[in-house]
Chain A
Amino acid sequence: MALIAMETGRFHEKYSEEIAVYGTPYRKIWILAVLVVTFVVIPLVASPYWLVVLTLVGIAAVGATGLNVLVGYAGQISLGHAAFAAIGAYTSGLLVSRAEAPFWVAVPVAMVAAGVFSLIFGLASLRVKGLYLAIATLAAQYIVQWILTSWTWITGGFQGIVIFEPIQIGPFDTTTPMGKYLMVFISLALVVVFVENLMRSRSGRAMIAVRDQDIAAAGSAVSPLHYKLLAFFISSAIAGLSGVLYGYNAGLVSTEVFTLALSVQYLAMILVGGLGSIPGSILGAGFITMLPLWLRDLLPAVGIELSASVEVHLLTLLFGVAILLFLVLEPRGLYGLFRNIKDYFRMWPFSY
């Protein structure tokens, strides 16, 4: 059998090749295929139930992609991303309902507000090395939850409920499952394009340099504080967008949505999906969002009936177990798993 010519790696001869959007011709096809499936095939064939589920996955994926900028690329942990999502959601909700701002003003303002608010905590903790950001953002989570529940003059009304007016532009209407689906996935596509481009730019590479060797980065005129703060700002702003999307999807937000548990879920998503990879964030968001659905559908199928409260606890338990298993067995997450399988078939019949 003639030996098939195999690539031994990807070698770049020019800088422009290295920063190209489509590193290989296959990539162009892949991206096109994903876009066609997301925006043509799924809207045509999916049942309303699956549209709703996928919308939830998309909202989570926006938040997870944002968090991945901070954790995967800049190497910092945030335990307060649910709080920043809450800032985004409440800012846009209140701007629309009280100041009657149009959504295309309210949403960017909400994202900036979430980012700027997060900088208070970033500035406090990112000046020192280590995991102080995790601790400061944990404080942020509790402080924001307290503000939302006790300062009723901000949130107004019972349990801080703020109603989101649906967006209606011609045939596009966010009261229907299809409108919600499109709203979320267009946002997700924009976020992915933004983050993908960020990582090709100087800023993105500087973040990776700070993550890998911050002292060496500082020696190369890359300020660790500057890029850590930048990553934190971008990440929190995207989390804010995720909060806004949640609000438009559910039609309202209340104080009970944005808890520490949600912050931990975001972390679980990027860990299960794969740190520092955008497809990984989306896969992880899908896995963690659908875990309760699988649990609900699969357990009765194998003959186990659990009461609702036990199911909630089992879910909490499984989150932890999933994170631990991925940490120990496949630290590169679902995306790493996918790469391994792909490489296996690419190299077949050789092992490597």
Chain B
Amino acid sequence: MSELMQLTVSGVFTGMLYALLALGFVVVVKGSGVINFSQGEVVVLGAFVMSWLLTDVGMPFWLGIPTTVVVMMLVGAGIERFALRPLQNESMLALVMATIALGSVIRGLVPMIWGDGLRSIPSLIDQRRYEWLGIAIPTITFWSAIMVLILLGAFGFFFSRSRLGLAMQAVSDDRVAAQSLGINIRLVNAVSWAMAGGIAALAGFVWGSLLGVDHRLVVLGALIFPVVILGGLESIVGAVIGGIAVGLVESLSAGYLNDDLGAGFSTVAPLIMLLLVLFVRPYGLFGRPEIERV
């Protein structure tokens, strides 16, 4: 029983970190309607920039973290400006291929700049475990999850209350109608990609602290999809719930199924869940089916 509790709790907390990965993806869908296959790579880039600024350049945390966020926001806006804006009126297929190509560019560029080795991010808080009723949670995971909650709250507020946030939702809903109402589409697209970059910087910090900074972090990109398919592609609440579900599935299958089904089953279990969700409820728990007319 205590093992089940432990697996559940650590699954929920890890799930919050998956939600952070997915948040960057959701923001881009919300703001520009693009299904971004390169968010995993952008997170890796964020982790490398963070690690470089904090160790090689030697910035303190209070300076290094905001600087990375700003740098990554610029990277995000740059991606929008130079890779996606020229394709504005192209098919969805072209946009997706562009994001896949971007992923390839980042995957090649990062080891060319920083080398192949494993890097690290200095720890902001001492790496211990909180223990409560026999359940242990690493301090990094705990505080990261708290940060994610605050961030998600802030983004939820931004999208439902602020003028720019509402404009972003309008653009993703119907670009032409939004444009005719005087919404600056270019600004909205650029802002959504900049936000995705900033979120990727934070996600890179959190995941880099947990697993070490390495190009293998791109594998995390694949976990974004079960999260967003379950939660609905453009729902922030959905990202949290999807993230927690993925964290739980992964943690529980690591605890109970890996021995029977082969090592590493927990890494593909969320993907199998993704397929099941597509069979049963293709638009996710919180997504709306689209009704279209010719």
Interface set of A (CB-CB < 8 Å, partner B): 71, 75, 77, 79, 120-121, 123-125, 127-132, 134-136, 138-139, 142-143, 146, 149-151, 213, 215-216, 219, 264, 267-268, 271, 275, 309-310, 313-324, 327-328, 331
- Can you give 7 A-B contacts (C-beta < 8 A)? A79-B37, A128-B289, A132-B282, A143-B268, A317-B108, A320-B105, A331-B94
Of all chain A residues, which has the CB nearest B233? A130
Complex alpha-carbon distance, A89 and B95, angstroms: 31
Complex contact B278–A317 (CB within 8 A):
no
Task: Tell me whether B151 is interfacial, beta carbon within 8 Å.
Answer: no
Complex contact B98–A323 (CB within 8 A):
yes
Complex contact B271–A120 (CB within 8 A):
no
Complex contact B101–A138 (CB within 8 A):
no
Across the interface, B107 reaches (CB within 8 A) one of A75, A125, A316, namely A316
Complex contact A267–B100 (CB within 8 A):
yes
In the complex, chain B residues 235-294 whose Cβ is within 8 Å of any chain A Cβ: 262-265, 267-268, 271-272, 274-275, 278-279, 282-283, 289-290, 292-294
Complex alpha-carbon distance, A150 and B98, angstroms: 33
- Give me the 7 closest cross-chain CB pairs, A-B, nearest first: A317-B108, A320-B104, A316-B108, A320-B105, A150-B262, A323-B101, A139-B271
Complex contact A324–B102 (CB within 8 A):
yes
Complex contact A320–B86 (CB within 8 A):
no
Complex alpha-carbon distance, A323 and B278, angstroms: 29
Known pairs A129-B290, A219-B294, A267-B100 / 6 extra A-B pairs, C-beta < 8 Å: A124-B275, A131-B92, A139-B225, A309-B111, A320-B107, A327-B87
Task: Tell me whether B222 is interfacial, beta carbon within 8 Å.
Answer: yes
Complex contact B116–A264 (CB within 8 A):
no
Complex alpha-carbon distance, A138 and B102, angstroms: 17
Distance between A286 CB and nearest chain B CB, rounded to angstroms: 19
Of all chain B residues, which has the CB nearest A263? B100
Complex alpha-carbon distance, A186 and B265, angstroms: 40
Of all chain B residues, which has the CB nearest A131? B35
Which residues of the partner chain A approach B149 to less than 8 Å between Cβ atoms?
none
Task: Tell me whether B229 is interfacial, beta carbon within 8 Å.
Answer: yes
Of all chain B residues, which has the CB nearest A218? B294
In the complex, chain B residues 4-55 whose Cβ is within 8 Å of any chain A Cβ: 35, 37
Given contacts A150-B262, A316-B104, A319-B101, contact A134 B294 (CB under 8 A): no
Task: Tell me whether B220 is interfacial, beta carbon within 8 Å.
Answer: no
Of all chain A residues, which has the CB nearest B293? A215
Complex alpha-carbon distance, A107 and B105, angstroms: 36
Across the interface, B265 reaches (CB within 8 A) one of A127, A150, A309, namely A150
